[in-house]
Structure 1
C-alpha cells in the first residue's frame, strides 16, 4: 500500500495496465466502474485517521456483477477490498485495491422465516432499513450500533460489531448463523455449523484445516484470548472451543461462519448473511443518572448492571458541552441534566411488561440513593423523549468530532475493554497518561461492558503521531494489567493490526497467518489487515500527515472562525499563530467532516436529497467534503475550487442546508457550494442562464410590467420550447408569472399600531405572489402592529442577495446584503423585529450575512430577523398578539417544510401557528427537499433529479390528501414544485391566517 500522495506520483508508471483493467470491468460489469482520480479519492478514506488511494472502484449491480468483478481482478492479479458504508474507525476499508462497494445495490432481503426468527440478507443492506422491515413482524436484529442509520450488515460482520445493548444480546458473532461467500480462488460456499457442512468440497476442506490449526495452539488460545465479551481482535479461532460458550450463543457448537465474522474481508467476500433475530421489546424506560465526578460514574456501573439493564451508556462532560452547542441537540440534552454533572449514564430497561420496567426504574433510583447519590436520576418513561436522547448518544462520535481546530479526538485506543470491577481505576490511570502528554481524553459509550470510546485530543499535523504511539504503549500496559482486550469493538484495521501479536502471542499470531494463507494464499483480499499489518503510526497512511499542506486561496466568505487552535487540556480556543494563513479557515471548515457517514441516512431528517435519489458517494455530503478536502490540499490538480472535479461533485447539491442541521459536525455544503460557484465564475465567467437567475431582483420590475407578453410566449409552444432550449431550461416547466409590484403599491407604513415591525418582502413575494405579502401585512395590522416595509420611495426594493449567491456572483450578493443591512440597522437599534416570508431570503440574514465581514451590525440583524411564524409565536408568548381566529373551511392542513426552515429549527413555529386555527388538524410531511431548490428544478439537466426528489415522499403525500385538506408550504420553490408535480395549489401560512381573521 502507498499513501495518496505517493500514489498520485507513481500512478503514471502503471497507467496502461490499470486502464486495461478499467476497460474490461466497464465492458463486463453492469454496475458502476469508477477509475477517475476524484472518485478514487472519495473512496480513499473511511471514518478513521487513515487514507490510501484505491486502484479503482466497482459498484456491483447484482451478485453476477460481484462474481465477475472478482474474476477480472483475479485475472489481473490485483487486490480487492469489499466495502459497505465506509464507516470503519480503524482503516479497515481503505487500501490500494479495487474497492467493491456493496451498499448501493447489493441490499436485498433474500429470505425470511418469522417462526425460526431468521433472515437472509445481502451485505449492503443498512441495519435500520432491515429493522424497519422487520418491525411489523415483532422482530429486530439487536446488534444496534450507533451508526445503524448508515452501516451495512456486511460491514458489521466484517468488524464483528457490538452495539449499545450487547450486554443483553451479545455481539455480531453471537447473532450470525451462516454466511455465503466467495473465496479468493473464485469458489463459492456456505459457511455455517461445522456439523452440517458437506463431507467434501472447498468449505469442508477449510473447516478441517482450520480446526487443525486451532488444535495446534489450543492451550495458547485458552491462555491469550481475553475472557471478556468485547474481544474482536484477530481471527475467532476459539470457535472450536465450545466447552464454555458465551451466554449469548445458545447453539454451543462450532460455526465456521464465526471465523469470517470479524475477519475484515481478509478471508472471503460476503454474498449473503443468515441472521438470528430477537423479539422486539414492547416497552422501554430510561433513567439518566447524573454524577458529580467521572470516577463515580465508572465505579457505580458495576452495581447498576446487577439490575439487569439492556444498556448502560456513558456521556461525559465534553460531549455534554458540545451537545449544548448544537441547536438540534441542546433542548434534548438539557432535559437529561441535573445541574452541571461531569458525566451521565443512560440506563435502559426493556421488555414486554411496562409495569415491571417501571419497577426496575424505581430500583435504579433506590440504588443511587443507597450509593449516596439521591435525586440523581432523571426518569424518562416515555418513548419520544427516550428516542430523542438516544439519538444524541448515537451521534456521540460526530459530536466529539465537532471540535473546531486541527486538534481532534483521535481513535486508536478507544475500544480497549476491561472487566467492570477495574473500569474506574483503568479510566483514572489512563487520564493520568493523557495528562502526562499534555492532553485530555473524550469518553462515551458502553460502560455496561467495560468498553469506553476514549479519544485523546491530538493534532496529527503537529507531533500527534509521536504522542499517539506513546499513549498506545502505556494504555496497552494498563489493558494487560487488568486482563482486558486491546481491541474491543471496532476491529483492527490499520490502527490496531500491529497489536494483534501483542494481544494473542506469537504462536496464535502465526496461526492467524496460517489461516490467512489457507483462505487467500496470494494475499489479494484486503491485504495488510489483521496479519502483516503496517505500524499504526506509519504516516504514509495518514489522512493528515505532518507534510499535509493546504493550497493558498482567497475565499469569498470570512472563514476565520474556523481557523483556530484548541488547547488539548483546557479546551480553550485561540486565534491562529502569526505564521498561519487566515484563508485556511475554509479548509478547516471542510475538514470538519470526519467521514462517519451520518449523511448516508435517508429515512429521516433532511439530508441528503441527492444521495437519496442517486445512492452515489459522489452526491453525498461526505463525498463532496472529501472532494473539497482533496482539492484544497492540492491532491486533485491545481485548478482549486474552480475545477471540474468540484463542479461535478456539487452538481446535484440543492443547497438545502440539511447537512448544516443534521450533520453533527456542522458541515454546511450549501455554503461551500457558494464558494465553489464564486470561484468558477471568477475563473470562467458567467453563463446567460446564471446571469438571468442572479439578476432577477433587478429585472423583476420590468418583467412585472411585461407580464402579458411573457404569458403570451408561454402560450405559444413552439416559441416557448425554443426559448427554454436556448436558455437551458426544462421544457416541462412554465415560466415564472409576474403579477405587479406590491411594494410600489403599498410602500407607506401602516397608519397606526402600538408596536412596530418591519415586513421584509422579498423579490418573489413582491412581484410573483404578492397576495402573500398583502395577507401578512393585514394579519400584522390586525394584531395591532405598525408595519414598515423594506423600501424607500424612489429606490429599488431591498434584497437579501440570495439569487446572486446561487449564481456565483458573490460581490453583488455582498453589496445587496450591505444595502439591506444599512437600511434595516436603524430599526434593529430601536428593537424593531425584521419579519420575512420567504425562508431562504430571511434566513440569509441569520446565516450568510454573518460571514460577509460586517461585524457586530450583522449579528444585531441576525438576532432581530424572524420568519413570519416565528414572530407570531414569540409575540403570542409575550401576550402581544390579540388575534381572534375562525375556522377556514378545511379539516386538515398538510404541511411541507422548506429546507431552510428545517435547518434553522423554524418549522415548529409553523405547526404552532396552524394549530391556532379552530378545527384545523395539522400533519407535517416527513420530507426532504422538494427538489425545486430555487433554479435547480428549472434547469434542463436537473429536471429529472428534481422530480425524483419530490417523488420520494412529498408528492405521494400531496396526491393522497383529500379535497378537505389544504396544502401548506412557505417556500416559493416548494409551492411551484407541488403544483407542477401534483396539480394541487399550496399556500403560505399568511394566506390561511388572513382567511381565519374573525
Structure 2
C-alpha cells in the first residue's frame, strides 16, 4: 500500500496530492518555493496524529501550516503539509477565573477574539494578519504584533501545549517544577527520556545561553533555550514556541488571556526623520503605552501611490516620520489622562482620538503598501524584521540606511522603515534583485553584512517573523558556534531523523537556495494577451507573481466592507483564495521547469481553481498587492478554450451571449412567449437543460425595452447639459423601470438625458466568461458610438454597477492606448456621482424610510466605491446600514453556472440572508446590482425586494409632488 492510499484509508480528513493542491501550497509569504509531497487537511487533532503516524511509516517529512503567511520560508517544504486552518478550529474550553482557554491549532485569532467577546478577555499578541493568522501559526513563529508592547510575545502568553513528536510520543507540557520533573522521570517512558535530555542540555549550555542570548524585548531568532533555565521554570512549552514546526506538531494550546481594555486613545507624533523618531522612543516608554509604532514618510508615500487609507493619511501631523503611541484603560478618563501625561512630558498640547481606527490602518497596511509599488522596483522580504534594544534603535537605523546606500538599495528615498519601535523591531522590504546571478549574490552579501550589523548592536536577526530559511544559516553570527551546536542537539532530542520541516533553523538550506524567483526563473511567455497589464510591464507572468502571500484574501469576516474572497469564505480551501489561485497561475508558467502543472493554458487544475472565482473584483480593491483575479480568470479562460470552443460549457453561450439573446427577444417581441416557456414547469426544466445553467428562477424579460420606451417618449431639455444614460442589458431588457426612474431623477436635477439610438453593450458577459475576442469587438463598437459625446466632454451615467465597472476599469485594461476608451473611463459616472459631484447645488428629495439596508454590489465596491452614494443618501435624510456581506453570491453569471448553486447560496447565507430575515418586512433594501436584486428576490424568505437608488429617489420625487 502506498503513502496516498494509506493516508486516505486511515486519516479522517482531505488528502490532496493533486497538482493544483501541491502548487497552491508551494510557497508562503517568503522568497522561497518548495513543492510539497502532498497536503493533508485533518478534521480533528487526532486525525493529524494519524497522519503523522502514516508519514512515519513511509519515512516522509512533515510540515504543519496555519495561515501560510510566514515571511522566512518556514511554511514551504518538500514534505507532507498538514493544513490546520479548515477544520481544527475549535475553542474547546474557557476558564474565565483562571483567564485561560484551550484551542485547536487552526483557530484564527480574530475568530477566537469574537468567541471570547462575552468574557471580557482576549488573547494578547495580535499580529497585523490577525484576521487570518492561526493560533498554531502564531505559536510556531512566536508572533507578537503591536500589542506585544503590553502583553509580550506568544511565548509569554502560553500556559501549556499538547505536542506530538514524529516518533508518536504525545504529551502536554508547560512550566515544570522539580516535583513535576520527578513525577515525569519516574514514568520512564519516552517523554521522561526527552525531559531528561533537555535538562542535561540546559545544564551544559546554561552559562552560554545567559551570555549570548540578547537581552532585548524582541528576540525571535534561534530556539528558546532560555525557557529551560531555572529562572523560567524549565518551561518546555516556552522552549517549543517559535520552533517553526521543526521539533514537534502542536495539537492544542492552553492560552493565557488578558483583560480587554475597553477604552483606547492614540497620540500621533511627527518628527523630521525616522531616526529622530526612533531616538524619542526611550523617553516615551516610561509612560507605559500599550503600543508604540513607528513609520516613515516613505511608507506614507507608498500608501498614497497605491491609494490606501486616503482619509487617514490626511489626519497625520506634520513631519517626515511618525510615532503612534496608543494607551488603553478601563475608563475614558484614565486613558485620556495617560495621553495627556505623555503630551505634557514631551511638550505637546493636543491629540485627536476621533480617527484612531483609520490611523491604525495606515500602520497595519505596511506589508501590502510596500509591495509592488507602481514605477518602483519590486521589494522583497529577507531583512524585514530585525530588532535591537529600543535605546539603540535610532543609531541602528542610521547604520542600516548606510548599508542600503552601499548596496544601491536606497534609490532616491530608500526602502520604507516602520515597525514596533517601542520594542526595537524594524520592518522593511528591500528592492533586492532576485532575478539575476549578480543580484542574488548581492542579496546574499547584504544579508551577511546586515547580520553582522545586528550582532554588533546585540540584537536579533528576527524580531517577529522567525528564522526559517531566510536567516537560518546566519545564526552562528548571532549566537556563536557552541549555541548553534546546542540547537542541533535540541533538534536531535525531538526529531533525530530530521523529518520535521527539514532545512529550517537547524542544518538550514542556504538563504539563496529554493528561491521562488532566482536567476534561473524563466516562465513561459505568451505575448498574445488580451489584457495589457500596464502595471506589470505587459507581462502575465509578472501579474501572476503579484501575490506576496499576506493572506488578506483568507479573511473569515467581511471587515469594514471588504469583499474578497467570497469563495474562500465558503469553502475555506486554499486554492479558492485569491492567493491560492495566484500560486497556481504562477506555477502554470513553469518558471523552474519542475512545476506539477505542465499543461499551461490548457491546465485543468488551474481551471478548477478558477471555477469558483466569482469574478467579484473584490481583490482588485481589497488585496494590498493589487492582485486582480477576475481579469486573470478571463484571460485564462480565453486561452484555455482558444481553438476548441466546443469544450466550453453551454452556460458560456447562454449567459455570455445574453445581451444578443435579450436584444433578439425584444426586437422580435417574444418576451411573453419566452417568459411563459421559462416559467412553466416542464418547459422551464427543458430551457434550463438546454442553457446548461443551474436550476433556479430565470429572470423575466420586460415587455418593452428601456431604449424602445425612451425613444418613443423622447428626450427633454435640461439646463445643466446632456448626459448619456447607459442602457445596459440588465436594466434595458429586464428592469427598465429602473432606467425610467433614473430619467425622472436626472431630468428633475436639470439634465437632458439621451440614450444610444441602437442596442449596444459593454461586453461584460463576454468578459466574465473569457470570450475576450468577442468582448473586444463589441466594446470597440460601443466606444465608437459614444466617441462624439465623450470627446465633447459629456458624461455617461451607469446604473448597473458591473457594466459601469467595465467602462471604468476593464475597457482601459483591454485598450490602454485608445484615447476614446480613456475618455470613457474618465467620464463614466454612477448616478450618485453625477448628482453629488457634477450637479452643483443639487438637493435630493427627502426620502422617508423607517429602516434601510444597503447591499453594495461587489463591482461598485471594487471600482467606483460607495462614498458618493452614502453622501447622497445622507443628504436625502436616509440613515442606512451598509451590510458587511461582501458579494451576494450571484455575481452576474456565476450563480447561474452549473455546479455553482451551493456556493452561491452559501455566500448569501453568510451575512445577507440572515440580516434580511432579521429585518422588518417594511425595511428598504437598497441593491443597485441586478444580480443582488435577483439573489434577494429568489432566496429571501421574508419577501424583501431590492430597490435601486434611482427608484428610491424617484419615489421621493413623486411623494414631494403629491405633497
CA offset digits 1:458-477 (Å, max 9, x no partner): 12002332112221222222
Tell me, yes or no, if structure 1 residue 892 matches structure 2 residue 851.
Answer: yes
CA offset digits 1:754-780 (Å, max 9, x no partner): 012221121111111000000000011
1:380 matched to which residue of 2? 352
| DSSP-derived class of the 1:523 partner | coil
CA offset digits 1:598-624 (Å, max 9, x no partner): 111121211100000100011010000
Give the 5 Å matches for 1:221-260. 221-243=209-231, 253-260=233-240
Is the contact between residue 445 and residue 451 of structure 1 (CA under 8 Å) also seen in structure 2? yes
| DSSP-derived class of the 1:990 partner | helix
Is the contact between residue 740 and residue 768 of structure 1 (CA under 8 Å) also seen in structure 2? no
1:247 matched to which residue of 2? none
Report the more deviating stretch, 631-640 or 309-318.
Answer: 631-640
CA distance in 2, matches of 1:664, 1:23: 40
Cα offset, 1:83, TM superposition = 0.7
Cα offset, 1:916, TM superposition = 3.8
Is the contact between residue 674 and residue 806 of structure 1 (CA under 8 Å) also seen in structure 2? yes
CA offset digits 1:889-922 (Å, max 9, x no partner): x31111111001111352233233333445x431
Aligned length: 932
Distance of aligned partners of 1:711 and 1:454 in 2 relative to their CA distance in 1, 3 Å threshold: closer
| DSSP-derived class of the 1:494 partner | coil
Instruction: Return the match for 1:688 from 646, 650, 662.
Output: 650
Cα offset, 1:27, TM superposition = 2.1
Is the contact between residue 600 and residue 611 of structure 1 (CA under 8 Å) also seen in structure 2? yes
CA distance in 2, matches of 1:193, 1:208: 15
CA distance in 2, matches of 1:989, 1:886: 11
1:784 matched to which residue of 2? 750
Distance of aligned partners of 1:696 and 1:317 in 2 relative to their CA distance in 1, 3 Å threshold: same
2:526 matched to which residue of 1? 553
Instruction: Return the match for 2:696 from 732, 737, 746.
Output: 732
CA distance in 2, matches of 1:185, 1:651: 40
2:479 matched to which residue of 1? 504
CA distance in 2, matches of 1:638, 1:237: 45
Report the more deviating stretch, 471-480 or 940-949.
Answer: 471-480
CA distance in 2, matches of 1:363, 1:825: 62
1:577 matched to which residue of 2? none
Tell me, yes or no, if structure 1 residue 53 matches structure 2 residue 42.
Answer: no
1:933 matched to which residue of 2? 891
Cα offset, 1:987, TM superposition = 1.0
CA offset digits 1:731-789 (Å, max 9, x no partner): 23335433321212213763221012221121111111000000000011111211111
CA distance in 1, matches of 2:262, 2:864: 31
CA offset digits 1:344-381 (Å, max 9, x no partner): 22111111232232233234434444xxxx68x7x331
Is the contact between residue 843 and residue 865 of structure 1 (CA under 8 Å) also seen in structure 2? no
1:952 matched to which residue of 2? 910
Is the contact between residue 104 and residue 616 of structure 1 (CA under 8 Å) also seen in structure 2? yes
1:157 matched to which residue of 2? 139
Give the 5 Å matches for 1:285-304. 285-304=265-284
CA distance in 2, matches of 1:402, 1:302: 34
Give the 5 Å matches for 1:636-651. 636-651=596-611
2:196 matched to which residue of 1? 208
Cα offset, 1:330, TM superposition = 1.6
CA offset digits 1:54-110 (Å, max 9, x no partner): 111101011231111111101111111111111111011111110000011011001
Is the contact between residue 301 and residue 448 of structure 1 (CA under 8 Å) also seen in structure 2? yes
Is the contact between residue 451 and residue 477 of structure 2 (CA under 8 Å) also seen in structure 1? no
CA offset digits 1:814-834 (Å, max 9, x no partner): 222222222323322333221
CA distance in 2, matches of 1:328, 1:700: 40
Instruction: Return the match for 1:219 from 192, 203, 207.
Output: 207
Distance of aligned partners of 1:412 and 1:303 in 2 relative to their CA distance in 1, 3 Å threshold: same
Report the more deviating stretch, 691-700 or 974-983.
Answer: 691-700
CA RMSD of aligned residues (A): 1.9
| DSSP-derived class of the 1:289 partner | strand
CA offset digits 1:446-493 (Å, max 9, x no partner): 111111013321120023321122212222222222211222221111
Instruction: Return the match for 1:469 from 439, 444, 453.
Output: 444
CA distance in 1, matches of 2:238, 2:846: 65
2:331 matched to which residue of 1? 353
Cα offset, 1:886, TM superposition = 5.3
CA offset digits 1:660-711 (Å, max 9, x no partner): 1110111110111110121123142144331222222222132231111112
CA offset digits 1:932-956 (Å, max 9, x no partner): 1111111231111111111111111
CA distance in 2, matches of 1:832, 1:803: 26
Tell me, yes or no, if structure 1 residue 753 matches structure 2 residue 710.
Answer: no
CA distance in 1, matches of 2:228, 2:771: 67
CA distance in 2, matches of 1:977, 1:231: 52
Relative to the length of structure 2, the TM-score reads 0.94
Cα offset, 1:797, TM superposition = 1.8
| DSSP-derived class of the 1:453 partner | coil
Instruction: Return the match for 1:365 from 304, 327, 343.
Output: 343
CA distance in 2, matches of 1:465, 1:971: 49
CA distance in 2, matches of 1:777, 1:328: 35
2:548 matched to which residue of 1? 594
Report the more deviating stretch, 503-512 or 645-654.
Answer: 503-512
Give the 5 Å matches for 1:276-291. 276-291=256-271
Report the more deviating stretch, 318-327 or 597-606.
Answer: 318-327
Is the contact between residue 322 and residue 402 of structure 1 (CA under 8 Å) also seen in structure 2? no
Give the 5 Å matches for 1:664-743. 664-685=624-645, 686-704=648-666, 705-743=669-707
CA offset digits 1:388-430 (Å, max 9, x no partner): 2222322211111132479432222222211122211111111
CA offset digits 1:321-352 (Å, max 9, x no partner): 121123342222222243xx322221111112
Report the more deviating stretch, 465-474 or 646-655.
Answer: 465-474
CA distance in 1, matches of 2:652, 2:228: 67
| DSSP-derived class of the 1:656 partner | coil
Is the contact between residue 642 and residue 677 of structure 1 (CA under 8 Å) also seen in structure 2? no
Cα offset, 1:223, TM superposition = 1.0
Instruction: Return the match for 1:769 from 730, 735, 738.
Output: 735
2:956 matched to which residue of 1? 996
1:518 matched to which residue of 2? 493
Is the contact between residue 750 and residue 781 of structure 1 (CA under 8 Å) also seen in structure 2? no
Distance of aligned partners of 1:883 and 1:517 in 2 relative to their CA distance in 1, 3 Å threshold: closer
2:516 matched to which residue of 1? 543
CA distance in 1, matches of 2:598, 2:479: 47
CA distance in 2, matches of 1:83, 1:750: 63
2:17 matched to which residue of 1? 35
CA distance in 2, matches of 1:420, 1:949: 46
Report the more deviating stretch, 732-741 or 44-53.
Answer: 732-741
CA distance in 1, matches of 2:432, 2:374: 12
Distance of aligned partners of 1:883 and 1:93 in 2 relative to their CA distance in 1, 3 Å threshold: closer
| DSSP-derived class of the 1:995 partner | helix
1:399 matched to which residue of 2? 369
Tell me, yes or no, if structure 1 residue 324 matches structure 2 residue 304.
Answer: yes
CA distance in 1, matches of 2:503, 2:658: 57
1:633 matched to which residue of 2? 590
Cα offset, 1:168, TM superposition = 1.6
Cα offset, 1:268, TM superposition = 1.1
CA distance in 2, matches of 1:526, 1:937: 41
CA distance in 2, matches of 1:327, 1:969: 26
Tell me, yes or no, if structure 1 residue 842 matches structure 2 residue 804.
Answer: yes
Is the contact between residue 22 and residue 596 of structure 2 (CA under 8 Å) also seen in structure 1? no
Relative to the length of structure 1, the TM-score reads 0.91
CA distance in 2, matches of 1:799, 1:770: 15
Tell me, yes or no, if structure 1 residue 70 matches structure 2 residue 40.
Answer: no
